[in-house]
Structure 1
């Protein structure tokens, strides 16, 4: 909509005051905003004042060219990106734009004389209509920049945590200071088991992992360093605090999946890689020997952990189950039978079978492998064979 000659004439009266208005915004009006006073003087006197000056001149150009191209917002976008990189809060940045509009309105009101009421209304209408496009451009650019910065920081942090867990960062490495790790720590290996058969997109996975992170942070009262993906993850808890007994249940409730968590203490940053490997092994052993999902420590699988260690006899022990390797129902029955303390009725109930079916399957295993499953030695052999085959 084109402005009347009276509105253009009123706006032109403010043109000589452009520099004065920019200084007033940068050095007086914006000082009222919480946090603005902490900005460096050169930022206020150069960048903020220049942006304010650009905003006033842009408004005056719009008076002459009401349909000015959106490309005129380039400086606002550049400044918004700078403020985002420097960490200025978005609310403070947007308040400067709102307050700058008010200062410009005051200048128009001061310049108006008797009979300029209609012209003033035209200019206020233009001011309000142009303000929302500027604020939209500023907010959009700020949020895009913050998102990019945060993604970069997360990627860098994940790289550091991965290097720490994999032993690529030596004790005392300068990058370890960024993780704020000193003294004992607790290392977790996490398995997010199978849940309902629902196809998930990347957004749903990210939301679930954020919930897992939130539960871990809340459980330990500190920011937990994590490497998480859709099915598993590793974590380092500073200060080496003990995990709550209900940790796995809390994570399970948050993500809607069966969860296993293995916890291993580390004396210091240098011991974290070994603790991470041990935690991963505990998870594997707990799953292989049929323990239900939950929180696992090495004492929970002490014998099984020992039996699963490779040695000269490992291949021969693992081969004991070769005769039934092509019968997954037999292997599953054997694993469940051991997990249920060799209780045939509990095994049958868990597998949804008749107890006689369990007996028949166990007899078939004993017949084909030659292992006496009722003897302590036979039990130890099949436990070791299962664990070594899993490895």
Structure 2
């Protein structure tokens, strides 16, 4: 490694010869006023804090990296060798031990990796986890976004995982006040003609398949709720379903239409497991019902999932003018914000409304 003054003088001369830019040379001076050695990590931090445009940052990064490569080739600078910090690695492994069995393996792996990057970042700026503050957290997230081109959903994952990490070790939690608005895609739903195709395919496959599709579409219940449904929860005469424990952890009543009630009645007469305690759709594992719905979709030539049927009901109800609060109750949403997503009008709706108004005006 080199002393600051030697690096600066050499680098200024090299910059002027290669780029003929006094501006770049002045930026170099600012760099060496803050950092004593020219490392990739120091360059990243310097450019992250630099008040310059993205294109200038990119050009400066190229200049810094080219000069480091030049020094290494001349044998004047040793390549950086990343060394693992035992204390950091030990803490990261402890995360795995504490989370194992409580979280999905993907979540455990992701939390470990995010915590590792956070801890090495803190080390690079000379801070311990106990000393980290909100500004450090924001700087770290900016670095992740700039270097990796991370989307908002990825940044949100970092925030959530690092909140969990800090809480796990009783550390100051600089991520608590940081909010990242996640991108929320429009729900995928089926139009009426596709719903009819799926119903037709299900009817051809059997009574259980037809009853399942009719119940999922007419009630909007989740696939897990359908898997937990017993005959004791079904009121065929009143066309109601008792959903004992939903996603919200509370019981509720779901409604079905006449078609679904008749389909359930026919299925109950045919099955050998029609007692109160028996599961309506026979299986406890919701993934098996999801697979069944997809097979029905394949037969119909329509891509469909259980949640698409739920979204289809929500979209249809809103299109037909049902009040949002009523849709919220029907679908069992805890928060109205989850229901409001169905109010996003499709392009077809916009065109239909336009044609209706303009055609009337013409006549």
Same fold flag (TM > 0.5): no
Structure number with the higher strand fraction is 1
| TM-score, structure 2 as length reference | 0.29
